[in-house]
Structure 1
Amino acid sequence: MYHAITRAKVRSLWRRIGAGDYLAAVETAAPDVRFRFVGDTPVSAELTGRDAFEDWFRALFARFPGLRLTLRDVVVRGWPWRTTVVVRLDVEATLADGTAYRNEAVQWLTLRWGRMTTDEVFEDTKALDEACRRQAAAS
């Protein structure tokens, strides 16, 4: 039952984030959340703390206005004191030059009593880096 409830909460959270409400994710984060967006791109990051996490999201949505994040699948394992959540996402945006950006991402989370303590995101960095270059060239 716990896993089903957690899956439903994650799905609800991603509906909000997918609609542009990234503060929903920030609200679930522990004050000392550890966040890592893997790769060597302008949006790659390794940071700690809810404020830095919010700043990263704000910059991401500023770089990609209209960014759409759609949940494809969610897997939950563990218990309330240490829950692992794995999410598959579709990532889409229309770049400033009018081209479509499409990618996939996997998110690996650790929750402790409902609070996100770690968040790691893995996305095709080659495609993401190209999208970042297009955005920079168009501005």
Structure 2
Amino acid sequence: MYHAIVRSRIRALFEAINRGDAEPVLAQFAPRFEHVFLGSHALGGSRRTLAATRRWYERLYRLLPDIRFDLVMILVSGGPWNTLVTIEWNETNSGTDGVRTYATGIHVVQLRWGKTVRMVICPDTVMLTATLERLAGKGHEEALAAPIVG
């Protein structure tokens, strides 16, 4: 039953992201957490504060305003005191230039008593880097900005 509840909550969080609303995700973080996005690019890096993580989501929506995740699989293991969730997804976006791209990836999320203590986002970094370089080439300088960390 617990795993079914976690899967339902994960689906709801991705639905919020698909609507452009990161607040439900931000509200899920424990007082001490780590938010990691793999890669050396404008969306890469590691954050440990809500302020930095909020800025990261704001940047995500500025660069990829219509980003959408379609969930393929949600795997949940462990009990409420230490839960590991792996989410496989397909993602689409149009960037700021209207060019539609498609990618795959996973999120790995560690929960303790219902709060996120670690989130690692593993995208197709080759596709994402190409998208960011394309956006920068069309004048969106933030696409090549330094990662938001902190």
TM > 0.5 between the two? yes
Query: Superposed, which structure 2 residues align to 1:1-139 within 5 Å?
Result: 1-139=1-139
Distance, in Å, in 2 between the alignment partners of 1:63 and 1:32 is 27
SS at match of 2:66: coil
Instruction: Find the aligned partners of 2:23 and 2:71 in 1 and give their Cα distance.
Output: 17
Query: More deviation in 28-37 or 63-72?
Result: 63-72
| 1:83 positional shift | 0.4
Structure 1 stretch 54-63 or stretch 66-75: which is displaced more? 66-75
| 1:2-33 CA distance string (max 9 Å, x none) | 11111111112211112211111101111221
Instruction: Indicate how the Cα distance of structure 1 residues 17 and 50 shifts in structure 2: closer, same or farther if over 3 A, else same.
Output: same
Distance 2:33 2:59 in 1: 18
Structure 1 or 2: more strand by fraction: 1
Structure 2: how far apart are the matches of 1:117 and 1:58?
21
8 A Cα contact 2:109 2:118, kept in partner:
yes
Hey, what's the Cα distance between the residues in 1 that align with 2:22 and 2:87?
A: 16
**TM-score normalised by length of structure 1:** 0.93
Deviation for aligned residue 1:55: 1.2
Look up the equivalent residue of 2:91 and give its one-letter code.
V
CA distance in 2, matches of 1:8, 1:72: 14
Larger RCO (CA under 8 A, 6+ residues apart): 2
- TM-score where L is the length of structure 2: 0.87
The percentage of aligned residue pairs carrying the same residue is 27
Q: Secondary structure at the match of 1:3?
A: helix
Whole-Å separation in 2 of the counterparts to 1:52 and 1:8 = 27
Name structure 2 gaps, 5 residues minimum.
140-150
Could you tell me which runs of 5 or more consecutive residues in structure 1 were left unpaired when the two chains were aligned: none
Deviating 4+ runs (over 6 angstroms): none
Using the TM superposition, name which of 29-38 and 127-136 deviates more.
29-38
Query: What SS does the aligned partner of 1:89 have?
Result: strand
- What RMSD over aligned residues (CA atoms) do the two structures have, in Å? 1.2
